[in-house]
Homo-oligomer: A and B are copies of this chain.
Amino acid sequence: MATNERVFNFSAGPSTLPVEVLEKAAAEMLNYDGTGESVMEMSHRSAEYKQIIEDAEKNLRTLMNIPDDYYVLFLQGGGTLQFSMVPINLLTGSKKADYLITGNWAKKAYEEATKFGDVKILASSEEDNYSYIPKFKPEDIRPDVDYVHICYNNTIFGTHCNEVPDVGDHLLVADMSSCILSEEVDVTKFGLIYAGAQKNVAPAGVTIVIVRKDLVGKAPANTPVYLDYATHAKKGSMYNTPPCYPIYIAGEVFKYLLKNGGVKATHERDVEKANLLYGYLDKSEMFKPSVAKEDRSLMNITFVTGDPELDKKFIAGAKEQGMINLAGYRTVGGMRASTYNAMPLEGVEALVAYMEKFENENK
């Protein structure tokens, strides 16, 4: 399979993966590293698989500079299961938490948490269709909350916390599903970070949880065993059979990122891609960015022409040119180009060239 038969896939997730990783996965599909078996067939208790999962954890720790007093867990159930696991495990003091509502997923996380404690909205941009990250001050937080929850990058709307919000001395929990490994973050500013892997890391089916060790082990006694972080922390994510193949691909992506300069260099490439597209949007007469400039996402770049019919024509034309999944989220409309780590610069260059051509031809 020649690489040049591939499309540029701007999907918001599951999304494009590094070609080099896919080629390696294909080459060793029937025989991983001389074992005579596929990683899909490998006992999760085998020495070979143990090496795969341990290397994946070690390399993620290196990439994100994760201190020893944090667990790194590879779980199932996506962000959705974390929406429950976070409050079940962390609402152990006042049983209060404050949520910043910056998009659909943040709102779903909030709604789910209300099942488990006294959960309030800290601030919300819902009335403005989540087109910016609402500001708040540490003193707006209820003083005795167990934690504050934020969604660091809002996949649907294309906004992003361009600095870690100041929550004072409170514990901060962040959903980083759509921005993990695209920028350096100081893990020690967070009590817990979670991320569904199907954007920057791996195929769908594995969720990364990075959690400070002292926060684990306080879930109520009647917690479903899979939903207690302690279950997985005690067993190195091997309490039950983990999603072995998605973890293996995640591990290959981590190796690929390390080989290519780590998170710092990845971020520089992401900034270059985003600048190219936002630069064009800022000067275009036709295409307008959808969100506040100071809250722009590097990963999900949203824009509109203002004419839904023209949007449709643009998206259909792009598909003919091998640029797919440019339609905005189904409840939002317009366009969204997801430029995750694995999207090459050439993909964004092709997109901008097509936008210029489209704008000229449809004046």
CA distance A77 to B241 in the complex (A): 9
Smallest CB–CB gap between A181 and chain B, Å?
Answer: 17
Q: Is A79 an interface residue (CB 8 A)?
A: yes
Q: Is A158 an interface residue (CB 8 A)?
A: no
- Nearest B-chain residue to A81, judged by Cβ: B226
Whether B37 and A226, one on each chain, are in contact in the complex, defined by CB atoms closer than 8 angstroms, is no
Smallest CB–CB gap between A199 and chain B, Å?
Answer: 10
CA distance A293 to B244 in the complex (A): 34
Q: Is A239 an interface residue (CB 8 A)?
A: yes
Q: Is A234 an interface residue (CB 8 A)?
A: no
Smallest CB–CB gap between A11 and chain B, Å?
Answer: 4
Whether B76 and A76, one on each chain, are in contact in the complex, defined by CB atoms closer than 8 angstroms, is yes
The A interface, classified by DSSP as helix, strand, loop or mixed, is: loop
Residues of A within 8 A of B (CB): 1, 3, 5-7, 9, 11-17, 19, 22-23, 25-27, 29-31, 35-46, 76-81, 83-85, 88, 112, 115-116, 196, 198, 202-206, 221-227, 239-246, 249, 322, 324-325, 330
Q: What are 16 pairs between A and B in contact, CB < 8 Å? A: A5-B30, A5-B36, A9-B37, A12-B43, A13-B43, A14-B42, A23-B30, A26-B27, A26-B30, A36-B322, A40-B249, A79-B240, A84-B226, A85-B224, A204-B245, A205-B246
Contacts of A46 on B, CB cut-off 8 Å?
Answer: 11, 325
Question: Would A6 and B30 be within 8 Å (CB), given that A13-B241, A80-B239 are in contact?
Answer: yes
CA distance A115 to B1 in the complex (A): 52
- Nearest B-chain residue to A227, judged by Cβ: B224
Question: Would A41 and B26 be within 8 Å (CB), given that A6-B36, A225-B83 are in contact?
Answer: no
Whether B204 and A244, one on each chain, are in contact in the complex, defined by CB atoms closer than 8 angstroms, is yes
Contacts of A38 on B, CB cut-off 8 Å?
Answer: 17, 22
- Nearest B-chain residue to A39, judged by Cβ: B203
Whether B225 and A14, one on each chain, are in contact in the complex, defined by CB atoms closer than 8 angstroms, is no
Contacts of A242 on B, CB cut-off 8 Å?
Answer: 204-205
Whether A36 and B22, one on each chain, are in contact in the complex, defined by CB atoms closer than 8 angstroms, is no
